[in-house]
Chain A
Amino acid sequence: MAIKRGVSLYSYQQAQFFKKMNWKDMIREVHDNLGTDGIEIIDESTIRDYPFPSEQFIYDWNNEMARYNMKAVTMDVYLDVHQFRDHVMTHREAAERLKNDIKLAARLGFENVRCLCAVPIDVIEMALPTAEKYNVRIGKEIHAPFPIKSNKLRVKRGMMPINPRMVDEIINLRARTGSTHVGLVPDMGIFQHSPSRVAIEYTKRHANKPEAVDFIRENCRNYDDEEIVKVLNEKYPDHGLTRMDISRMYLHEPAADPEDIIDIIPYIVSIHGKFYDMTEIPGKPGQYEDKSIDYETPLKYLKEYGYNGYINSEFEGQRDQQDRGIENLVDEVEQVRRHHEMLKRLIGE
């Protein structure tokens, strides 16, 4: 048993947008050129007419997966609390959406659904009997800036409220119910220690004062995440950066420490292999790395402590390169191939 490789079709979102690839092309790319079988999807991107796909779509999906002997690993599901617009979705309604997504995942052959960090634990608990019945595990994502260990929360504020006890809540729910149908989906982005080259360049292109971005990079270790905003406003009053831009550029330490992954290995249902920009390692032709994310250390621990589930590539660097002409778009297929070169090498395949 070893760590297995897969791809979230999220990675090819731009090719899908421009109608260069459909989900069948993506599955063939994973099978033919990456030589592996793991498939993850975003429900609202791949499933035509979500949440009510046709019988034909479901048959077509299962048939295509069978044709290439692929594995439907994880389906990523969402929680949009404003769907009804006349009231904020209640937790019971949120559980209904999750239950419906679980049933849909089961029909498409998926082993897991990934729910978001900010899904309240009682919502997951209400959906757990459905997960048991349909034999689909619920994996809660650990996405930056959420930490693995509750005492290691490093940022004061995120775009969404951060519950640092998220991981403990999942482990407690398992212990309390005895269910193995709930677990965790760590995103490798929790080991990201600096902004990617493509994010820095995008932010500079849209800032009134590109040097403000350099200032953040040079001084991120000297101020906390509140102070840096204050100092920046004083020094560059018309910098034109949003709070989100600033927090993206401020990043200088990972949300989680690599060794923290050891303790949660028994609860991992699958892993998101987030990356932004695979570049060739100097002096090592044909070998690639993402300079902003530490893969080596966490993968060493995952191997050593016997994780044998999937890591599914999740390429996200395209969005920072879509503000110019078509000639500046990145090749997602090539990026994912490079990511799999790295995964194979680090897994020791």
Chain B
Amino acid sequence: MFDSFLIRKDSLQNVVEDGKVTGFKFAVRIADYRGCFLSLHNGYYIRCDGVEYPRELQRFEVNGKKPRTFEEIKKCVWEHWNYDDEAYVYVTKEGGLEPGMHTIEIQQSVLSQYGYGPWDEEWVKNPPVPGTGAGAGKTHVICKFELELQE
């Protein structure tokens, strides 16, 4: 769902923290027709210009709070990501991205589901690694975006 629209096209920017460029960020929406308890958000498969950036290098900014790691997000069991709301994905990359066009491939992983499944206990111990399709909600393909770095 929303394959071509999961990332806002004019949202790719470098991130500056304490005067240093620490990475890049872009704006995303939920790949489902409903919002979710924030704890269910299990991160992203992200490949930028051919380089993979695993969940450990990602942070998520939503609900007006500062960017949080997915280990912190996991604990937000009563907070909700509303269907209507945009959020930012932060990716750690020293020096950020060069000016110009960049290719971002993405798959969102949100562990929402329709009841109990045989994989449940396993997912508590070992949450699926984003990108395998597990937890990919309503968008199982990896979506590809050509984005221009904004000032």
Contacts and interface: CB of A to CB of B under 8 A. Distances in A.
Contact of A242 (B78, B117, B140): B140
A44 B3 contact: no
A52 B80 CA distance: 9
Contact of B124 (A17, A78, A82, A326): A82
A218 interface: no
A16 B113 contact: no
A80 B36 contact: yes
Given A160-B113, A161-B118, A83 B1 contact: no
Chain A, interface residues (CB within 8 Å), range: 35 or more
Interface string A289-330: 000000000000000000000000000001100111110000
A275 B84 CA distance: 24
B39 interface: yes
Contacts of A325: 4
A13 interface: yes
Interface stretch (A115-123, A229-237, A266-274): A115-123
A281 interface: no
A244 to B, nearest CB: 7
A302 B133 CA distance: 39
B18 interface: no
B127 to A, nearest CB: 8
A84 B127 CA distance: 13
A42 interface: yes
Contact of A81 (B4, B113, B138, B141): B113
Interface in A76-94: 78-88
A104 to B, nearest CB: 13
A117 B78 CA distance: 24
A120 B4 CA distance: 36
Contacts of A116: 114-115
A82 B111 contact: yes
A322 B4 contact: yes
B120 A82 contact: yes
Interface of A: 10, 13-14, 16-19, 42-45, 48-52, 78-88, 116-120, 160-161, 206, 242, 244, 318-319, 322-326
28 contacts: A16-B84, A17-B83, A19-B84, A44-B80, A44-B83, A49-B80, A49-B82, A50-B82, A52-B78, A78-B34, A79-B113, A80-B37, A80-B113, A82-B113, A82-B120, A85-B40, A88-B116, A88-B124, A117-B114, A118-B114, A119-B115, A120-B115, A160-B117, A242-B140, A319-B2, A319-B33, A322-B4, A323-B3
Given A13-B33, A49-B80, A85-B74, 18 more contacts: A19-B84, A43-B34, A44-B34, A45-B35, A48-B82, A50-B35, A50-B82, A52-B78, A78-B112, A79-B115, A81-B113, A85-B39, A85-B75, A160-B113, A242-B133, A242-B140, A319-B1, A323-B141
